[in-house]
Amino acid sequence: MRLPASVARPARTLVTLLAAAALPLVVQAQGATRALAGSYAFEVLSPNGAVKVQMVVKKAAAGYDGTLNAEGFPQIQIARAAANDSGAVFEADAPDGNGVRVVTKIGADNRLAGMVDYGGMQMPFTGTFTPDAAGSAAAAGAFDGVGKYEGATSDPFMGAPSFAFVCMVTKGANGALGGGCGPAGESHEAAPFTSVTVSGNQLKATGMSPAGPFTLEMTVDGGQATGTIVLGSDKARAKATFTPAAK
């Protein structure tokens, strides 16, 4: 079935716009709550069908260098970017006076979702974000996960109505993240983490305890952290106070 011209033209214009040139080179990043550097791969659901897009953002001296590639069309460059706690907003200026606005939200495991806005027409997309390690480390004020997480589960856990815990995330001289978790108020050694990853304001740590493997996932907002703890077949929601390590 052919789309009405009033719908088909804006969608085609968007694809044409993605192929346009003569846009500014350097992305000016506003805000430093999230590192923007990395690769954004997503599929836009337009009225004319799915359009695959690959967006690469790199740290530059004056902000970020950004490029956008729509499948089957030449590469263009992004004009502006603004970071926030959950993702980022990217904008490009069109030669016809309209603009493209790409609003991204980065979730657990770097899942990407958002909306492309062009000429008042909003089109959803989903995809993945692969952060650039060097760019993330260089971003001023970027959350690195290092510090103390002290809290308790809000659900029953391991046979108890609530489980109080203290977790420490540390950074070695080589930049590798480590640390461990243990019950609050107990003097025995914390169970060590075997893997710690940070994406935006989200922390995921896995480790091995005497009771078996465990996973801690936390989303940090200022001094508060919320997430889940999993140990074996037990899973519980958790809240904690986050105290960042002294820099």
| Range(s) of the domain holding residue 201 | 147-244
Rounded to whole angstroms, how far apart are CA atoms 141 and 76?
29
What does the pLDDT read at residue 21? 28
Percent of the chain predicted with pLDDT > 90: 34
What's the pLDDT tens digit per position in 185-211?
866 678 999 999 998 889 999 999 988
Instruction: Judge if 157 and 225 occupy the same domain.
Output: yes
Total structural domains within the chain: 2
The whole-model pTM stands at 0.46
Rounded to whole angstroms, how far apart are CA atoms 221 and 122?
29
Q: What is the mean pLDDT of residues 219-241?
A: 91
Tell me which of 80, 107, 137 is where a domain ends.
137
Tell me which of 118, 137, 156 is where a domain ends.
137
Burial class (CB in 10 A: 0-12, 13-18, 19+), 44: buried
Please report, for the domain that includes residue 199, its CATH number. 2.40.128.20
Residue 136 pLDDT exceeds 60: no
Residue 22 pLDDT exceeds 50: no
Percent of the chain predicted with pLDDT > 70: 73
Check residue 73 and report its DSSP letter: S
CB-based contact 144:198 (threshold 8 Å): yes
Tell me which of 137, 156, 172 is where a domain ends.
137
What does the pLDDT read at residue 75? 66
Please report, for the domain that includes residue 47, its CATH number. 2.40.128.120
Instruction: Judge if 70 and 119 occupy the same domain.
Output: yes
CB-based contact 145:177 (threshold 8 Å): yes
What does the pLDDT read at residue 93? 66
Instruction: Judge if 119 and 160 occupy the same domain.
Output: no
Strand partners for 92: 100
Tell which wins on pLDDT, 65 or 154.
Answer: 154
Predicted confidence band of residue 24 (pLDDT cuts 50, 70, 90)? very low
Structural domain contains residue 142: no
